[in-house]
Structure 1
């Protein structure tokens, strides 16, 4: 189980570092991977999370979009919804790179 946890943290750390390099991305939650799971909740400024999820899906990247049964949290965050990516034992750094590339394509598509 320790190796699984380490792998999940490694992927989360890698994804958070890559996401921090993209203008317009807001990541919700702690940046310290020891205080989070393999789930990263985020928004891309100027793009509705459902539109973002659709474009990512067309690129072969599956994320969830919506309020995730947490409407009070969305209200507290002052957003209508968010996108959520998750990483686990079966994911790789290459898949994180594909996710980041798809986000860049989304930015280009929506010109944001």
Structure 2
């Protein structure tokens, strides 16, 4: 989660009042600093990739992205962030990094 801390200042500008209620039901939000960490990630993803949260269920968040990361460092870092938020991915970080360069829909899962 260290890489998300860099966006914490920007997250203060993010409308947590709007994001918070939608994220409160997400299982990952129950962790220590869950909502602030999610808000920081969402702010970074919105700024960097034009990502928008379009659905939130108990164990899953669904985003759409307007821009895809380039293969390499961009995709690797974004995959690491997503794996930190969605702790129930059933793939390796490199596999997610490749997928992020090829699609606009993001599904993050965090199951108990």
TM-score range, shorter chain: 0.3 to 0.5
What TM-score results when the alignment is normalised by the length of structure 1?
Answer: 0.33
More contact order relative to length (CA 8 Å, sep ≥ 6): 1
What TM-score results when the alignment is normalised by the length of structure 2?
Answer: 0.33
